Amino acid sequence: MDDEQAIALALAEAQEAAARGEVPVGAVLVSADGEVLARSGNRIVEKKDPTAHAEMEVIRAAAAKLGNERLTGTTLYVSLEPCAMCVGAIAMARVARVVFAAEDPKGGAVIHGPRFFELPTCHHHPEIARAGDAEAAGQVLKDFFRARRT
């Protein structure tokens, strides 16, 4: 599975999250050999859990599936730049690569905000890449919030 295919799965998860009334962010975690270990969208409202971001959901599911808290060699695909909470979990899980579509200037923590992986206190620095249609991923979010305001 290549980056474009995997990010398309993450975007599909984001659209499913929006259909459930969740902020539309989707994530997919893929093993080094291309196996999809987990996929999810945000489930914060559904679970009444502020930590149930898409990234956290797939990290938890993959760790349980593999029976290991270290997800070395994996790639995390996300429709939106991860927040500070999620990048902390990504570092702790030792995810090898993070690939996202849309930037998040307000809440992102990879290339915006704290730039977590660049901090000297961060002990794991995954490869960061961009893939997919950033405009389409951003539009899903814009449409979701526009509908909430009307």
Q: How far is CA 53 from CA 46, 76, 120, in A?
A: 11, 13, 25
Using DSSP bridges, classify how beta strands 127-130 and 36-41 pair: parallel, antiparallel or unpaired: unpaired
Q: Which residues are annotated as a binding site for Zn(2+)?
A: 53, 83, 86
Q: Which residues are annotated as a binding site?
A: 53, 83, 86
**Which residues are marked as active site?**
55
Provide the 10 A C-beta neighbour count for residue 47.
12
pTM of the model: 0.94
**Per-run averaged pLDDT (10 residues), the chain, 150 residues:** 94 95 97 97 98 98 97 97 97 98 95 95 94 84 81
Report yes or no: 23 and 44 within 8 Å, Cβ to Cβ. Answer: yes
Which SS3 state, helix, strand or coil, does residue 52 take?
coil
